[in-house]
Structure 1
Amino acid sequence: MAHIASTSSIETSELPSPIDPIEEEDSPVTTPLDDPPKEKRRQRLLRGIQRISSSPSLAQIGRARSSSSPYGNRGSLSCVSLAAAGPSSGQYASGNFSSGHPSVPGSPNAECLGFEAIETRLATRRVVYASTTCLPTTASLPADIVATKPRSGTIRKPPYDFWVNMPDEIRVHIFSYLRPKELVRISRVSKDFYKFCFDGQLWTRFDATEFYTQIPAESLAKIIVSAGPFVKDLNIRGCLQIEHYKRAEVVVKACKNLINATLEGCRNFQKSTLHSLIRNNDKLANLNLTSMSAVTNTTCKIISQHCPQLESLNVSWCKHMDARGVRTVVRACPKLKDLRAGEIKGFNNLDVAEAIFETNNLERLVLSGCMELDDDALKTMIHGADPEVDILTDRPVVPPRKLRHLDLSRCSQLTDQGVKALGHFVPELEGLQLSGCTSLTDAALEPVLATTPRLTHLELEDLSELTNEVLSEHLAKAPCAPKLEHLSISYCEKLGDTGVLPIIKKCVSLRSVDMDNTRIGDLVLTEAAAMVRSRAARTSTRSSRPRIGLKLVVYDCQMVTWTGIREILSWNAEIRQPSSNTPTYPTEIIGLKCFYGWQQTVEQHTQRVLRGDFAAAGRLERKWADYMQAVEEAGASGAGLRRRRRRAREAQLLHADEEEGGAGAAGRRRARTMATSCSVM
């Protein structure tokens, strides 16, 4: 009986008869006459409920109905479990559905109900985890892997906070990759970010030139104050926000470890504030005080007393000081190598010149615009006050200067006698600027060019007395010719092809040549194209892009025609087809600045070459040449004048279309009237 009671459900097709054979042995036989009618109705109701509840559940788990054996190892699934509820239940109370035995393992727990009458409602089975009970029998996963629903009161382990557990040194290093403007922005994210964004280690170099116009004065001062003890490189060039004396004093009190300080353009800085800044920073190595009205000779004296490590000083355009302040700094700062004192008065003082001579540590000396500098002062800076003269060479016996860059532009009182003193005494010279010294002639440059083998930059602008001989016989044959990179001879009206052609041939390292308002012609442009062609390697890679290797400035040169300009354009877009059938492309081209009426075409051509569109560049060059030729023909008098002018107008329109549109260009082209007006201009 216990074995029979262990079954959990009975399928409708296998439902036993009201009188079971097993039940006959233990219980009295009941005839159909004694069975009340309502008992039959109850049995039919129960069978219907079993049919509805059992079959869909079996179909869902993909199993066959339990018609073969109702007493197998696993009971069939059912939603209702029946139990006897009293004497009226008959055979169910003592048969298979005994209420004294629980369901078999693997079947859902069911609530056993008794039935008092036909109107009694049957309770449905309560399923705790339906998805689990409907699964087929398989090996279960370990308990620590199975995701279970957390019980009430269970404390879950919080996720690992990678940022909080990171060392502070690594976090500061991550923030160091951000620019100052970005640091200020992300400081609003959280208090933690705010603390690290204003950490002094991130502000060792404070350059406000990029964002000073977009930050309030209070915020700018706050940043400098919070990072003041760590700031070593301070650049507040043009920061008008902190020009107020109170804000400037706050900045000065905070910064005490400066090495590089740039205060250029802070014109409203008070003298006391500037002096406090200099006194508090005895490690200053580079100091830029350009255009500061607070700078005086007293400021220079304070610099000499508190900045023994000074290496670079810029006091250009400081109107309230003179050369005596420079002398104080030069004598007290033995490490000074870079001195810039443009447009400072009093450089005709021989004591100042002798102080510069005695130090002999200067590598860069900028005296541009010092109108009072004369020949005696310059000779004293190079030779000394009373040097010993060698009777064989007739040169002073003094050690050579260490100057590498010398700027004497716009020193109008200098003549040949003063500039000659540079010869044989500046062997390390790399840059020489003499623009605006209108009194100089060829004699002033001959000894200098012959004794400066490292010269790379030479500016001789507006020296109207120079002739072609100084270029062809001295500069072209000088030891510095192969290394010369920049040459400026603009407004030297006597220079022409005779002097410039040897320079273009010999100076193969040239990167820029300014020749505007001279007498050069198309031969110079042709020679420049040949020089770049010979020194620049070509490539067979179609995707490579050329670069501008030589810049020529030839506007307002009356001898330059469109033929020379076309030579440059043609070479820039040249694609060679050698015998190997592999085309080669240029890697270096010439950037040209010519007449205003031609410059737009030249720029369009250069842009197409730089982006690798050689076909469009060549097409533009050909149409421009046709247009220029038609214009020249139209200007000639005689028969066919009207026909030539019509051809010139047609060529002009075609050239304007190509110049504006190009191959594959999108957008609306320029109007015809504008094209005509621009060409006329």
Structure 2
Amino acid sequence: MADSTISHTTPGSPASPASEAGSLDVQPGGDAAEQFPVLQHKSKGRQRLLRGLQRISSSQSLRARISRPRASSAPYRSSASSLSCVSLASTPSPFGQPSSSSSYFSFGDVSTAPTSVAATPAVETPGYDGIESVLAVRKVDHPVSAPMTISLPTEIKKRAKIFNFWDTIPNEIKIHVLSFLSPKELVRISRVSKRFHELCFDGQLWTEFDASKFYREIPAESLTKILETAGPFVHDLNLRGCLQIEHMQRAQRLVAACHNLYSTSLEGCRNFQRPTLHTLLKANNQLVHLNLTGLPAVNNATCKIISRECPDLETLDVSGCKQMDARGIRFVLEGCPKLRDLRASNVRGFSSDADVATAIFSTNNLERLILSNCSDMTDDTFRIMILGPTPEFDMLTNRPLTPPRKLRHLDLTHCSRLSDNSIKSLAYVTPHLEGLSLSNLTQLTDSALDPILASCPNLTHLDLEELPHLTNSSFMALSRAPCSTKLEHLSISGCDSVSDVGMLPVFQACTSLKSVVMDNTRISNLTLTEAANMVRNRSLSPPSSASSSPPLPRTTLELTVYDTPLVTWTGVLEILSRNSEPPMARPAKDGVVEIGGGRKGKEVIGLRCFHTWQMTVDEHTRRVLKGDLGGARRVERKWAEYMQAENEMEVAGGWRRRRRVTATRAVLEEDQGVHQQGHRGRGRGRTVGCAVM
């Protein structure tokens, strides 16, 4: 039988010494262990092979001669070992069978395969005992050209999961998250990617577009592009003060994009052209709220278009539109039966057109009517608005039999031609009236105001500024009126005939007051003291719980007493001392002690007084609202010393008195910690103005 010889040679090189030294004859039918004893020591042969490969890779001369580019892919995906086996071309199998794939050994950057350069000599591989058992062919299940993948570190995997969370959530949640951003932030974040751009300009995020908050910071072209992109989805558009929309082409692009508006405000867009405005109105026939304040483009033809194209209109503001008159208002009233809020300040033509007053009376749907500064309105016109052209009266009570009006807010400020004859018509026909402004009606007297107060139980805001003929009797009637417990705002500025006689009953009866303006009146310190008692009494309530700390004080009444000659610094000090006093306790009817400053906290008064005292009042109020009652009492004590020293200086005069005043100022400056050096602490007395004052 022919002998089988196993040899290991490198292609292109002579046989290795190991193959020449001895060949192994395979006897058929013999024992494999006896014929190949070297196979029993596979582990030792493998170690010798690895040591030999390491010696080859450590030789600098061989590395320079046999170096070649590293393979782009490896048949084995294990990243733990740098040793890869690939069959060499034309290399026989260790068992004498032809190999289907070539293989070679490489370690690192060292390769035992021949180089492609012809001049490179072949490398002789030393022989090893038992190498034939190591060079067995390993079959690979995957193609050699498969890409090698490496697992990512755990930290990167966690970060990737967090980053991919945004892609996995539904679009509805993404839109809800982005809805908390302002329009300015949405525009910035839209630059992240195309996907973010699509989300940031989704129609659900742009149903309301209020440019009045950032129109100064955005160029006109950018504002126009945003409106072009989001225009079809915008329902509430506010361009108040946007002067950038001055070019006619930009306005036309805006109008072409916005055709689903329900509410729009163009107040202050003075350069808005009339054809563009008319196109906008015709394209949005579902408008409900429309604000055209101060637009020169508005005229009577615009009002005709509104009446014809916007039948669902509920709110209209055409204040300051000088190119229109009362006839335009009549067009709107006749074509918009759902109109609830009409604001037509500074509109002309009410005296010459009685049809406008008749239309206002006939609709009886208006809840808010603003006719301030309509100086040409006469008594006859206003009576027709309220009572109709031919009113009927009860013979016994002399009250009108007109159906009740739905008016809730009426503003007749600066309608100087109105007198008692027309204002009396509001009595007994406006039971729902909540706000009434009759400022600067110089002909108004007590006889017109008394029946209105008696017949309007829901009145909360009453503005009676600059009424020189108004006396204390009207305010005494107010204290007895059914609206006294609901009144929240009262302004009597400029009523120089009103004194403590009229205002003391008001503060005793009107316990819900939040704002009172009494500048240029004849009130004195007694009124301020009564106001402080009213606030203290209404703040008495049981504490919320024994364990919880009471809330901080809060301002519940704003008093304005500018230019009131009878109010002195002692009255102001009375307000300050009542603000800084601790919560009071008193026995209730059932024996339970009531403590001020309970569930709602201690109530204090915000005071606006003589300008030289205002800084002290503001500092005192700031400390009280912060909860520092001790510091507030220290401010009022030192301010009282200062004012007493000022009075003594005015009476006696002299160097010592003046020195005492400047020392008091220095103490106040030290208490605030405000010095010229910019540090806290006690400094030397300086003849400078009081920091609090």
Per-residue deviation, residues 304-340 of structure 1 (Å, max 9, x unmatched): 0000000000000000000110011011111000000
Shift in Å, 1:203 = 0.9
Pair 1:471-2:475 in alignment: yes
What SS class does the counterpart of residue 290 from structure 2 fall into? Answer: strand
User: Residue by residue, what CA displacement relative to the aligned partner does 1:164-188 show, whole Å, maximum 9, x if unpaired?
Assistant: 4443333333322211111000111
- Seen in structure 2, the aligned counterparts of structure 1 residues 392 and 649 have a Cα distance that, compared at 3 Å, is same
In structure 2, do the counterparts of structure 1 residues 129 and 464 end up closer, same or farther at CA, with 3 Å as the change threshold? closer
1:507 to 507, 510, 514: 510
Map of 2:121 onto structure 1: none
Judged with a 3 Å threshold, the aligned counterparts in structure 2 of structure 1 residues 350 and 653 are, in CA distance, closer, same or farther, namely same
The DSSP-based 3-state class of the residue aligned with 2:240 is: coil
- Give distance in 2, aligned partners of 1:495 and 1:168: 64
CA separation of 1:249 and 1:167: change in aligned 2, threshold 3 A? same
Asked if 1:250 is matched to 2:264, the reply is: no
Indicate how the Cα distance of structure 1 residues 675 and 111 shifts in structure 2: closer, same or farther if over 3 A, else same. same
Shift of 1:267: 0.8
1:550/1:589 contact within 8 Å kept: yes
Preserved contact between residue 543 and residue 612 of structure 1 (Cα < 8 Å): no
After TM superposition, the score normalised by the length of structure 2 is 0.75
Distance (whole Å) between structure 1 residues aligned to residue 229 and residue 526 of structure 2 = 63
Say whether residues 1:647 and 2:650 are aligned partners. no
The aligned residue for residue 572 of structure 1 is 579
1:440 to 430, 440, 444: 444
Would the aligned equivalents of 1:288 and 1:314 in 2 still touch at CA under 8 Å?
yes
The answer for the alignment partner of 1:593 in structure 2 is 608
Tell me if the contact between 2:616 and 2:692 (Cα under 8 Å) persists in the aligned partners.
no
For the 8 Å contact 2:540–2:595, the answer to whether it is kept is no
Alpha-carbon distance in 1 for matches of 2:193, 2:534: 61
1:24-49: per-residue Cα shift (whole Å, max 9, x none)?
xxxxxxxxxxxxxxxxxxxxxxxxxx
Question: Which deviations, in whole Å up to 9, do the C-alpha atoms of 1:1-33 show, x marking residues without a partner?
Answer: xxxxxxxxxxxxxxxxxxxxxxxxxxxxxxxxx
The Cα of 1:656 is off from its aligned counterpart by 3.6
**Using the alignment, how far apart are the partners of 2:664 and 2:145 within structure 1?**
89
Supply the AA of the counterpart residue of 2:555.
Answer: I
Q: Which residue number in structure 2 is paired with residue 352 of structure 1?
A: 356
Which digits, 9 at most, give the CA deviation of each residue in 1:555-586, with x for residues without a partner?
21111111111111111111247699999766
1:443-495 Cα distance to aligned partner (Å, 9 max, x none): 110110000000000000011111111101x1010000000000000111011
Instruction: Name the residue aligned to 1:32.
Output: none
Partner of 2:244, secondary structure, is: helix
The residue matched to 1:476 in structure 2 has which SS? helix
Task: Report the counterpart of residue 495 of structure 2 in structure 1.
Answer: 492
**Mapping 1:243-322, distance limit 5 Å:** 243-322=246-325
The 8 Å contact of residues 575 and 583 in structure 1, kept in 2 or not, is answered as no
TM-aligned CA deviation for residue 253 of structure 1: 1.1
Matches within 5 A, 1:137-176: 153-154=147-148, 161-176=164-179
- Give, in angstroms, the shift of residue 112 of structure 1: 6.2
Are the structure 2 counterparts of residues 122 and 448 from structure 1 closer, same or farther at C-alpha, using a change threshold of 3 Å? closer
1:100 aligns with 2:38: yes
Q: Deviations over 1:189-245 (max 9, x none)?
A: 111111221222211111111111111212111111111211111111111111211
Which residue does 1:109 correspond to in 2?
46
Is it true that 1:555 corresponds to 2:568 in the alignment? no
User: Could you say if the C-alpha distance between residues 178 and 410 of structure 1 is closer, same or farther in structure 2, counting changes exceeding 3 Å?
Assistant: same
Equivalent residues of 1:544, 1:612 under 8 A apart: no
Q: 1:425 aligns with which of 429, 445, 452?
A: 429
Deviation at residue 370 of structure 1 after TM alignment: 0.3
Q: TM-score, normalised by structure 1?
A: 0.76
Q: Which runs of 5+ in 1 are unaligned?
A: 1-82, 88-97, 116-120, 132-149
Bigger mean CA deviation after superposition, 150-159 or 236-245:
150-159
Distance 2:573 2:41 in 1: 104
Looking at structure 1, the residues matched to 39 and 525 of structure 2 have their Cα atoms a distance apart, in angstroms, of: 118
2:559–2:606 contact (8 Å) kept in structure 1: yes
How many angstroms apart in 2 are the aligned matches of 1:356 and 1:504? 37
Shift of 1:599: 0.3
- The CA deviation string for residues 318-369 of structure 1, in whole angstroms up to 9 with x for no partner, is 0000011001101111100000000100112221101100000000000000
Q: Identify if the C-alpha distance between structure 1 residues 481 and 576 changes in structure 2 by more than 3 Å, giving closer, same or farther.
A: closer
Alpha-carbon shift at residue 632 of structure 1 (Å): 1.3
Relative distance call for 1:596 and 1:113 in structure 2 (3 A) is: closer
Q: Distance in 1 between matches of 2:536 and 2:481?
A: 23
Secondary structure of 1:413's partner? coil
Q: CA deviation at 1:440?
A: 0.6
Using the TM superposition, give the Cα deviation of residue 542 of structure 1 relative to its aligned residue in structure 2, in angstroms.
5.3
1:481 to 1:660, Cα distance in 2 relative to 1, 3 A: farther
Percent identity of equivalent pairs? 52
1:264 aligns to what SS in structure 2?
coil
Using a 3 Å threshold, how does the CA distance of structure 1 residues 154 and 535 change in structure 2: closer, same or farther? same
Answer with 577-586 or 416-425: which moved more. Answer: 577-586
* Mapping for residues 315-394 of structure 1, pairs under 5 Å: 315-348=318-351, 349-394=353-398
Which has the larger displacement, 356-365 or 191-200? 191-200
Q: 1:655 to 1:200 in 2, by over 3 A?
A: same
Which position in structure 2 is the counterpart of 1:633? 648
- Write out per-residue CA displacement over residues 372-392 of structure 1, whole angstroms, 9 at most, x where no aligned residue: 111111110010001222222
The residue type paired with residue 650 of structure 1 is A
- Number of matched residues? 558
Counterpart residue identity of residue 546, structure 1: P
Deviations 1:510-569 (A, max 9, x none): 000000111111111111111000001365865731110000001211111111111111
* 1:108 Cα deviation from its structure 2 partner: 9.3
Q: Contact 1:265–1:291 (CA<8 Å) still a contact in 2?
A: yes
Which residue of the partner structure matches residue 634 of structure 2? 619
Determine which structure has more spread, i.e. the larger CA radius of gyration: 1
- CA gap of 1:290–1:318, structure 2 versus 1, over 3 A, is same
Aligned pair in 2 of structure 1 residues 581, 263: CA closer, same or farther (>3 Å)? closer
Classify the secondary structure of the residue corresponding to 1:590. strand
For 2:191 and 2:376, locate their aligned partners in 1 and report how far apart those are by CA, in whole Å.
56
Question: Residues 19-34 of structure 1 correspond to what in structure 2 (within 5 A)?
Answer: none
C-alpha deviation, 1:666, in angstroms: 5.7
1:38-53 counterparts in 2 under 5 A? none
